Chain A
């Protein structure tokens, strides 16, 4: 059973370009979470999705950021018109759902905006 797969591991974008980060949850997991980690800081919650639904996006910046988890395929975190401040590691986690289930993390995507 493969773990949570994120790709790419590293992504370099110029200011103003779009960044697309992908996350394939563990098999059987229908809950996906995205977190952002700035250098020397802990992970900050961004968004929680279930298949075809955004459950909680309270941590998402109001502009330029969007996320989806379609019925088929991976979850996508999309950042439009990237700026240098978007440079960070973005982690995805998945779980079966429910309060007692463990969230498993991917290895993250390190986004660098130049």
Chain B
């Protein structure tokens, strides 16, 4: 099973500032998918951004961007211009590209608090 590690249990950021969440993973596969999910207090899991390992270009979605370092097996999430609504738990996740293995492996999560 793939291991996903998020080493920061909690992060705090001032509104409008930038925060970066770290994620590392362990796999022997060459092709795979990486995701960041947001879980606000409502508990709903919301996909923030995804990255295909075969793409060298880092994915971006509005204020969210990733720094994907394949050789280092690192996949960090940057939240720019933080807003109060960004307060949530953030999970990094891995999915194999094998045809018979579609499950997501999640990290333990990072709680992000945006301060007014």
Q: Is the CB of A56 within 8 A of B103?
A: yes
Smallest CB-CB separation from A56: which chain B residue?
A: B103
A91-B103 contact, Cβ under 8 Å, with A42-B91, A42-B109, A99-B97:
no
Is A44 on the interface with B (CB-CB < 8 A)? Answer: yes
A91 to B93, CA, bound (A): 15
Range for the number of chain B residues in contact with chain A: 20 to 34
Smallest CB-CB separation from A3: which chain B residue?
A: B44
What are 15 A-to-B residue pairs whose CB atoms are below 8 Å? A33-B104, A41-B109, A42-B6, A42-B91, A42-B106, A43-B104, A56-B100, A93-B45, A93-B104, A99-B99, A102-B47, A102-B50, A105-B44, A107-B42, A107-B43
* 5 further A-B pairs in the complex, CB-CB below 8 A; given A31-B102, A42-B109: A42-B91, A45-B103, A99-B95, A103-B102, A107-B43
